[in-house]
Amino acid sequence: MANAAVVGAQWGDEGKGKIVDWLAARADLVVRFQGGHNAGHTLVVGDKDYKLRLLPSGIVRGKHALIGNGVVIDPFALLAEIDEMVSKGLTITPNNLKIAENAHLILSVHAAVDQALEIAKGANKIGTTGRGIGPAYEDKVGRRGIRVCDLAFPDTLKDQLERLLSHHNPQLKRYGVEEIALDKLLASLLEIAPRILAHAVPAWKILDEAKNKKQNILFEGAQGFLLDIDHGTYPYVTSSNTSVGQGAAGSGAGPQAVGYVLGLAKAYTTRVGAGPFPTELFDAVGEEIGRKGHEFGTNTGRKRRCGWFDAVLVRQASKISGMNGIALTKLDVLDGFKELKICTAYELNGQKLDYLPAAPAVQAALTPVYETMPGWSGTTRGVRKTEDLPQEAKNYVKRLEALIETPISVLSTSPEREDTILLHDPFAG
């Protein structure tokens, strides 16, 4: 058995969907272990685009897929996504898609609270997608959440929902938002319960059986390390741990099962929503990167902020997450730039820093220290062999590798599945 985990090393949107799909060819089981349907993984296969939010990306390869207990699931969004993928020709049944019976649910009340709170923050808003992920995780920690297994017990479920709404409805009323009706919410959940429960399993047993069969397991993260609730740019973060440590806790596998840790990073940097971004570009270069990289959110359509590659952040992400290698994506977006800049340190009040401090006020005051490298006039798009890359592109990759102190194991040169250069196979250990 050789397992691997794929996690983002920046602020998300690094191209995890394509890389997970590509690696899934060598996996038997693909597992999502955190986040919700705020994640957007886009896979391009021939003339079809698959935009996945909750489904593990391996499902497109026909692999067995598992949604772990660390994921918060909007059951209506999940069923809609299943129906959409089936309409595109995929086979998704309880045989190849399993859901942890102890995963928590996102309900309509969570989205209503999420949106109301974000509006109330005004200029201080976090940039949440408003889909209820944060409030659902809050209810999980507050021990009033609704889990997949609860759908099987209507009488108990009604009492649980009543307790949940007694907590949230006063909040909604305070913000002038219509309260959620208990009977309507209960009826909607009971209507879809059979479809969801058909997929429900004790996830840890599925993983243990895969281990005993010596199958390859691929753990799929969502968002990126810098959005981690503990290690990210708090409070401008998501509501879960996005680092690889969550792979074990959010799936029911032991920590030793995670295996090779592959971090993903774009050849530049992007961010959606508010929060610090030391290398952000506000000029024509930033606009050009965004245009060439099609930098708009898969889920929200929001324009992404763009900037130069930040080696300080990726190095920090790699060390905290214990990354064994990095998959560098969207190298082709940098084709044609005369020069490229890499952030190698920060300056704060005349002092150089080689890490990102935790305090938001300090993060906002940082000035990037850049190293400049020549760009390349040739193309990297669609290249599948290292030797076919322009020499300047190879030099750029090598310099990034040295600065982040982590080997670059994979290069992605377009959204297409096979336009990928494998330098080290994660399933080889």
Q: Which two tokens stand for residue 113?
A: 């609270």
CA-derived radius of gyration, the chain: 22
What is the three-state SS of the chain?
CCCEEEEECCCCCCCHHHHHHHHHHHCCEEEECCECCCCCEEEEECCEEEEECCCCHHHHHCCEEEECCCEEECHHHHHHHHHHHHHCCCCCCCCCEEEECCCEECCHHHHHHHHHHHHHHHHHCCCCCCCCHHHHHHHHHCCCCCEHHHHHCHHHHHHHHHHHHHHHHHHHHHCCCCCCCHHHHHHHHHHHHHHHHCCEECHHHHHHHHHHCCCCEEEECCCCHHHCCCCCCCCCCCCCCCCCCHHHHCCCCCHHHCCEEEEEEECCEEECCCCCCCCECCCHHHHHHHHHCCCECCCCCCECEEECEEHHHHHHHHHHHCCCEEEEECHHHHCCCCEEEEEEEEEECCEEECCCCCCHHHHHHCEEEEEEEECCCCCCCCCCCHHHCCHHHHHHHHHHHHHHCCCEEEEECCCECCCEEECCCHHHC
Q: Tell me whether residue 37 is one of the annotated catalytic residues.
A: no
* Residue among 37, 41, 64, 110 flagged as catalytic: 41
Query: Can you tell me the distance from the alpha carbon of 429 to that of 427, in angstroms, rounded to the nearest whole number?
Result: 5
CB-based contacts of 273, cutoff 8 Å, min separation 6? 126, 127, 128, 236, 302
Q: Which two tokens stand for residue 303?
A: 């324009």
* Among the listed residues 127, 366, 322, the one whose alpha carbon sits nearest the alpha carbon of residue 231: 322
Q: Tell me whether residue 199 is one of the annotated catalytic residues.
A: no
Active site residues: 13, 41
